[in-house]
């Protein structure tokens, strides 16, 4: 079923009705308080919390409720009129950003340096509330974007009822057709995918890799036949479910420190061009892997951290990479085939750790889990190997904070925490926490 069909009630059925106590559409006048995790700010109305998007701390706004009712613990709302503006407010650079428009960017209405201050405040709050940690946090810019724009090397579009590429509204299946995405990297725009029509497609992802590849991945709408337009700038076109690419190849070249890495076109890779180099540098600086050591790369993906660890520990050392996704593990095998001292284990990280990774102990552990974090079982599995140092790469500060609490219980303390603005204009932030093993009392 196409996204457009999902928005229309089925024949003979009524459209879903809002609950009887719904406050959706109600306008409230609010004093905007501090930033909250998730891209909104906190306000209060008659004693109840209201999470307000498109506002800035310290403002007074008129906000329209978008979610919640009279019996809800909290409400969600969009600031639709600014009554008293913050000096940090700016004109959004994208015409599709704002209340009721594209939901991809949370902070286009805030000056870029202040966006980073807001993200730092969120990280500090999550660490304090969930892990009991009081740590200084500064969100660092990385090379590869201009004024927070033109950085996203992978953009996934939905397809609307007129076969145009579109982006979704916040917390909604509703679509907004766009001329182009302002945070997309120049290579994405070179494909001119938004100028074409995509009959039968449900989603279209455009990839502009650091290695110069321009790839389009098309997911058919349910039960539909896709009619592909001509996209001359794309080096490869892939149709999900097809045995072979329509054109080109099924993988792209990415780069770390100038070296090429092979990654499945539909696989995971950081979307900011400066991301991987920044994260690798932070991990190596914090972990200081040495020749002859044993290192683990958990949630290894295409094997980047395993590769740099292999260089540092040398042939007298050992690296074990663990990855649950078979496609990513296959990429890792190709990328790491030249390292005889690297071993790749395929399977869920918690299960592989429980079964044993072939080493009795490790010196260095690097983990880069998905957004939900590693979880207590993985933390226990890591602690059982007694590494001297753990480098934890996290894309969400809340699961990171929860896992740091588990690490503290297992005898590890945070030495440093760095945060990086890998997703300008959005609420997302990437962190690298370096933990040392605390000597247990005799």
Q: Tokens 């978008």 identify what position?
A: 66
Q: Tokens 């990774």 identify what position?
A: 357
Nearest-angstrom CA–CA distance, 406 and 140: 26
Nearest-angstrom CA–CA distance, 426 and 190: 23
Nearest-angstrom CA–CA distance, 166 and 175: 6
Q: Kindly list the strands in the beta sheet with 40-45, ordered across the sheet, starting from the edge strand earlier in the chain.
A: 27-31, 60-67, 74-84, 48-53, 40-45, 35-36
Q: Is 368 annotated as a binding residue?
A: yes
Extract the tokens encoding 31. Answer: 């004093």
Helix or strand holding residue 313 (H, E) = helix 304-313
Sign of torsion over alpha carbons 64, 65, 70, 73: negative
| SS3 readout for 173-204 | CCEEECCCCCCECHHHHHCCHHHCCCCCEEEE
Nearest-angstrom CA–CA distance, 49 and 73: 8
Question: Strands, E, within 251-341: which ranges?
Answer: 251-256, 259-264, 294-298, 318-323
Q: Among candidates 299, 293, 384, 399, which has minimal Cα distance to 341? A: 293
CA–CA–CA angle 173, 176, 181 (5° rounding)? 115
Q: Is 270 annotated as a binding residue?
A: yes
- Secondary structure of residue 221 in the 3-state scheme: coil
Nearest-angstrom CA–CA distance, 32 and 162: 39
DSSP characters over 120-147:
HHHHHHHHHHHH-------EEP-SS-BT
Q: Tokens 């934890």 identify what position?
A: 392
CA–CA–CA angle 19, 25, 26 (5° rounding)? 100
Q: Is 403 annotated as a binding residue?
A: no
Q: Is 117 annotated as a binding residue?
A: no
Instruction: Give Cα separations from 425 to 1, 227, 322 (angstroms).
Output: 32, 34, 33
End-to-end CA, the chain:
63
CA–CA–CA angle 267, 201, 237 (5° rounding)? 50
Q: Residues with catalytic annotation? A: 395
Annotated binding site for S-adenosyl-L-methionine: 270, 299, 323, 368
Annotated binding site: 270, 299, 323, 368
């Amino acid at each position: 079923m196409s996204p457009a069909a999902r928005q229309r009630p089925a024949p003979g059925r009524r459209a879903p009705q809002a609950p009887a106590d719904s406050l959706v559409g109600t306008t409230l006048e609010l004093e905007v308080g501090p930033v909250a995790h998730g891209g909104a700010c906190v306000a209060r109305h008659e004693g109840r919390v209201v999470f307000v998007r498109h506002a800035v701390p310290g403002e007074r706004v008129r906000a329209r409720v978008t979610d919640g009712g009279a019996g809800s613990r909290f409400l969600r709302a969009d600031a639709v009129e600014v009554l008293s503006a913050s000096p940090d407010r700016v004109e959004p650079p994208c015409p599709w950003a704002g209340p009721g428009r594209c939901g991809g960017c949370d902070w286009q209405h805030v000056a870029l340096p202040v966006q980073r201050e807001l993200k730092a405040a969120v990280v500090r709050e999550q660490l304090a509330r969930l892990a009991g940690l009081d740590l200084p946090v500064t969100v660092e810019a990385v090379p590869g974007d201009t004024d927070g724009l033109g950085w996203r090397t992978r953009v996934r579009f939905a397809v609307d009822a007129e076969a145009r590429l579109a982006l979704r509204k916040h917390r909604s299946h509703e679509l907004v057709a766009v001329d182009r995405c302002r945070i997309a990297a120049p290579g994405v725009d070179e494909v001119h995918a938004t100028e074409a029509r995509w009959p039968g497609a449900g989603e279209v992802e455009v990839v502009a890799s650091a290695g110069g590849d321009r790839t389009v991945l098309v997911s058919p709408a349910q039960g539909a036949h896709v009619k592909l337009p001509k996209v001359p700038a794309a080096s490869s076109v892939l149709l999900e479910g097809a045995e072979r690419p329509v054109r080109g190849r099924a993988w792209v070249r990415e780069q770390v420190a100038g070296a090429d890495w092979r990654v499945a076109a539909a696989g995971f890779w950081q979307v900011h061009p400066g991301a991987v180099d920044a994260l690798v540098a932070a991990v190596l600086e914090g972990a200081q892997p040495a020749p002859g050591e044993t290192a683990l790369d958990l949630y290894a993906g295409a094997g980047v951290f395993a590769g740099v660890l292999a260089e540092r520990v040398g042939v007298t050392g050992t690296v074990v990479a663990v990855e649950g996704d078979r496609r990513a593990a296959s990429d890792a095998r190709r990328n790491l085939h030249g390292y005889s001292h690297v071993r790749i284990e395929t399977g869920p990280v918690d299960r592989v750790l429980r079964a044993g990774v072939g080493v009795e102990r490790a010196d260095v552990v690097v983990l880069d889990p998905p957004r939900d974090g590693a979880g207590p079982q993985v933390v226990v599995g890591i602690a059982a190997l007694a590494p001297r140092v753990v480098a934890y790469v996290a894309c969400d500060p809340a699961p990171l904070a929860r896992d740091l609490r588990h690490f503290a219980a297992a005898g590890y303390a945070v030495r440093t925490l760095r945060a990086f603005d890998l997703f300008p204009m959005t609420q997302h932030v990437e962190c690298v926490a370096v933990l040392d093993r605390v000597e247990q009392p005799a």
